[in-house]
Structure 1
Amino acid sequence: MSDRSRRRTIVCACCGQTAAHRGQGYCVACYTRWVYHGRPTSGAPKPGETPRKPPAKSTRVIPAFCQHGHRLAAKNLRFSPAGVRYCRACRYEAERAYADRQFAKRHKDHDVIPTIDGRRYCRTCNRGEHDIDDMAIDRTASGDRPDRVTAAELEAAVIQLRLYGLTYELIAARTGCSLRHAWSICKDNGLTRPRKERAA
């Protein structure tokens, strides 16, 4: 049961309507209007007699620098939809730090290398080394390559066939990759012989 439903019904001394009593012989609306205008001794003003009070003008002083030392110029000063002032450089640094923490958490104990443009590249995730299917490696090495094979699975199959003594042509034919790709995988893993040893 609400508070207004428990009030007794009266004839308002201000507007003359029958409504719930709030105080001083006024209804809730008239009593609220009377308090809003400072409780004048002449009583509550009639509805529509007095204009609304103008909103108070607050003098907003914008500092020259933020708390981290960034200059709050036109390009760096921003306001949220709620009217809250914020520094664009500080928000960019906070978002960058959050992204760095998420990247470190997601790629913990992975092989992360820097790129030419300064970004970070996780070779473990891009090569699929965090999720290797042994069945896919065996099928690729036996010549029955699945429809989807990650780079790490293909590399493992090529290395396995090379350790068996197969030539690059046979490895490429079984795994379904090119001859140059099979040779480059073996070269990166130290399974190729120098030209002098082959000549000998």
Structure 2
Amino acid sequence: MSGVRPAGSGRHLITCACCGRRRPHKARGWCSRCDHRWRYFGQPAGGPPLPGQGLPPKGSAPHTCSQPDPACAGCDLDRAWTAHEAFKDRYRAKWREAAARRDAALRATRHAGHTMAMSRRGPYCLSCKRGEPYLDEMAVERAVQGQPPSRLSPAEREAAVIHLRLSTPLSYTRIAEHAGCSERTVIRICKANGLLRKQRSLAA
């Protein structure tokens, strides 16, 4: 097969027979993107759909074959749709497995020893739940002094930001450094509690 092999690559550059772009060869005269699209859409006999397109709608190629016929466009479309849906099911299963592993690792590190609960979106931590009534006053005091602990609950961080905003002339950036969060979080907390400069000037 003719083609130029780019430096550092194990594949020849070709003009893809599907998309017409100059890319490394993957298989059947197609680039890797078109080959993946062909597999994703169930390996239709006519080759991969063009970029940005998918399979024709189900039933758009009617047929009356009693047995699957490889030469029948309707049979090939039905088979491609079945393979395409099976491919998506396998992809979703792999995604759910990866999400479960990620959640398990998060529970074992960041939420170790915390109280966990289940929801439709997966497990969440009750100990880190926004707005929890319990506040560790020592943690808030450390944050006010600029030495926040390794973990602050959202309620503790909000209390520290409010205290710094009311009792010190520090800027949003310096408050964020004290509370161990971003400046955007500080502004959001101040806006929710009416502590922005504009809100305070209007109140005065």
Higher relative contact order (CA 8 A, sep 6+): 2
What TM-score, normalized to structure 2? 0.34
Could you say which structure has the larger radius of gyration?
A: 1
What TM-score, normalized to structure 1? 0.34
Structure 1 or 2: more helix by fraction: 2
